[in-house]
A = this chain, B = another copy of it.
Amino acid sequence: MHVTVDLAVLTIRDGALSALLIRRAAAPYRGRWALPGGFVHDDEDLPDAAARELVEETGLHGRAGHLEQLASYGSPKRDPRGRVVTIAYLALLPDLPAPIAGSDAASAAWYAVSTVDSLRLAFDHDRILADGIERARAKLEYTPLGAAFCPPEFTIAQLREVYEAVWGTKLDPRNFHRKATTTPGFVVPTGRSTAGERGRPAQLYRRGTATLLYPPMLRP
């Protein structure tokens, strides 16, 4: 029985929640878009395998963002090559330089998740990606992980745009500001502020130390 890791890698690009896809260079599903991933090495722990595949296939580092286990998928027919169980990981990353295709990928690209449905991803990757998106949506409610989509220092407006992109809703900027700045451990001010933008400069914040938001930020 073979074991792989697959990665649902999400970021915000141009205000849209987007997923990292690679075009498969080899059979099966050659030429189809798929999630990055690959076989787990014999002496390697699962999170290490996920981080390694992310770098190998796309040149991206998870360090800047967040990487967590999503779920495992092991239907007997999910891979035509034989029995393959995959451990899916979910990565949330800030909008970084364009990914670089690695060894097993003909190319790598970001796709807005709203357009992925029409691609018909390889294997059961449509399902894995859908589960990853739902996990991300849920996690923004009760963790400060929205900041994983942002650069190290960010404004409250940037953070709000993350929530709006992930949830697909508009949020009131004033109420969001109050909520973000008063929920303990959500964000911490750096003292610095933006300049050269349109409108009043905004305070810059870093991600807070809380792992759970209390009270949570429930979806409208």
**Residues of A participating in the B interface, judged by any CB pair closer than 8 Å:** 1-3, 40, 42-46, 69, 71-76, 83, 85, 87, 214-216, 218
Contacts and interface: CB of A to CB of B under 8 A. Distances in A.
B76 A44 contact: yes
B85 A85 contact: yes
B215 A85 contact: no
A71 B74 contact: no
B218 A43 contact: no
Contacts of A218: 214-216
Most interface-central of A1, A46, A74 (chain B CB within 10 A): A74
A85 B49 CA distance: 13
10 contacts: A3-B85, A40-B85, A42-B76, A42-B83, A45-B75, A69-B71, A69-B72, A85-B85, A85-B87, A214-B218
Specify the main secondary structure of chain A where it touches its partner. loop
Contacts of A75: 45-46
B74 A46 contact: yes
Contact of A76 (B45, B71, B85, B87): B45
A72 B87 contact: yes
A46 B1 contact: no
Given A1-B2, A3-B3, A45 B69 contact: no
A1 B3 CA distance: 7
B2 A85 contact: no
A210 to B, nearest CB: 15
A83 B2 CA distance: 11
